């Protein structure tokens, strides 16, 4: 199998849908977006260098060009910020590689350490003790006021806290940034989401194209790359076993845990 179509299509769909959140707002958060951002079309910033090797592999692993778009046919480079290759050893969605939950989480932690545009939250433990995380990605300005933004959104969620005052609600809506929450692998066999979301987090953090900047400067994207963390790791165990032993029966221990 040469192509993991899912990773590329999932990423393209998610980024293409993010501007819908911006359009749905009655008024943009803070100052109105500059025209060049608000009207921007997908496509790379020619002034930003490419990760040439990553871009080459995107094209190599994609069996048909119509699976690509101006959102996913290149990989921007950012000094000091690693791509998923740093953890995976290959690009996100590369054939033959399904990362374990820890690898996915480790990359998100690495990304957050490398740029002020990302922050990881531990949101709990699974029944088998694996970490469950969420990573927030936005501009430096939005990241600096995450707590204040959270408090504002909480007031809109329960208008009793502002005495049902429409004027106050309107003012909060004008200054608060919406949160776009994406989850992956809600079901353990949804194999492509974690790698797609690793790449999505990187692109949202570093891509300087006007289209992506418009998202980053007006929306806080929150990502949980793996929801069903225990099941995910079981599926990776099964996948790796079948790769090495295509003619053998899968041991029951792999299905039910060791």
pLDDT for position 249: 84
Does 14 score more than 80 pLDDT? no
Report the pLDDT value the prediction gives residue 39, as an integer from 0 to 100. 86
pLDDT digits (tens, 9 = 90+) for 75-131: 999 999 999 999 999 999 999 999 999 999 999 999 999 999 999 999 999 999 999
Three-state DSSP state, 217: helix
pLDDT bin (cut points 50, 70, 90) of residue 2 is very low
81: containing domain: 5-247
Q: Output the pLDDT for position 4.
A: 47
Residue 5 has pLDDT above 60, yes or no: no
Task: Report pLDDT for 179.
Answer: 97
Alpha helices in the chain (DSSP H): 5-24, 35-38, 52-61, 85-88, 101-114, 140-144, 146-157, 166-175, 193-206, 210-218, 229-244, 252-256
Q: What percent of the chain has pLDDT over 70?
A: 84
Alpha-carbon span 156 to 173, nearest angstrom: 8
Q: Is residue 257 part of a domain?
A: no
Within a domain: residue 140?
yes
pTM attached to this predicted model: 0.86
Q: What is the pLDDT of residue 21?
A: 54
Q: What is the model's pLDDT at position 7?
A: 54
Which residue did the predictor score with more confidence, 257 or 100?
Answer: 100
Residues 27-82 have pLDDT tens digits of: 454 554 454 687 888 999 999 999 999 999 999 999 898 899 999 999 999 999 99
Residue 252 placed within a domain: no
Q: 256 in a domain, yes or no?
A: no
Residue 258 in domain: no
Structure confidence at residue 54 (pLDDT) = 98
- Identify whether 121 is part of a domain: yes
If you average pLDDT over every residue of the chain, what do you get?
Answer: 88
What's the number of domains the chain is made of? 1
Q: What is the DSSP letter of 161?
A: G
Q: Is 105 domain-assigned?
A: yes
**Which contiguous run of DSSP H or E holds residue 8?**
helix 5-24
**Taking residues 146-167, what's their average pLDDT?**
96
pLDDT at residue 199, as a whole number: 98
> Quick one: 80 exposed, middle or buried, by C-beta within 10 A (0-12, 13-18, 19+)?
exposed
Percent of the chain with pLDDT over 90: 77
Is the pLDDT score of 26 beyond 90? no
Predicted pLDDT at 63: 87
- In tens, the pLDDT along 196-253 reads 999 999 999 999 999 999 999 999 999 999 999 999 999 999 999 999 998 888 877 6
Q: Are 55 and 75 in contact (CB under 8 A)?
A: yes
| Three-state secondary structure call for residue 186 | coil
């Amino acid at each position: 199998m040469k192509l993991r179509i899912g990773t590329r299509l999932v990423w393209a769909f998610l980024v293409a849908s993010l501007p819908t959140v911006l359009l749905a707002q009655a008024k943009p958060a803070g100052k109105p977006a500059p025209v060049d951002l608000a009207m921007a079309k997908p496509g790379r910033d020619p002034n930003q260098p490419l990760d040439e090797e990553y871009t080459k592999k995107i094209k190599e692993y994609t069996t048909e060009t119509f699976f690509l778009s101006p959102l996913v046919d290149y990989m921007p480079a950012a000094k000091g910020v690693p791509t998923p290759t740093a953890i995976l050893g290959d690009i996100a969605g590369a054939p033959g590689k399904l990362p374990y939950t820890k690898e996915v989480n480790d990359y998100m932690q690495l990304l957050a350490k490398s740029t002020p545009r990302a922050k990881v939250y531990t949101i709990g433990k699974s029944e088998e003790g694996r970490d469950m995380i969420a990573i927030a990605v936005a501009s430096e300005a939005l990241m600096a006021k995450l707590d204040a933004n959270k408090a504002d959104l909480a007031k809109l969620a329960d208008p009793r806290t502002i005495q049902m005052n429409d004027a106050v609600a309107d003012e909060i809506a004008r200054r608060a940034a919406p949160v776009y929450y994406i989850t992956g692998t809600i079901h353990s066999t949804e194999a492509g989401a974690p790698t797609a979301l690793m790449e999505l987090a990187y692109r949202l953090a570093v891509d300087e194209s006007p289209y992506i900047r418009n998202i980053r400067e007006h929306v806080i994207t929150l990502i949980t790359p793996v929801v069903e963390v225990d099941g995910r790791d079981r599926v990776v165990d099964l996948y790796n076993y079948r790769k090495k032993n295509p003619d053998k029966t899968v041991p029951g221990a792999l299905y039910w845990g060791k």
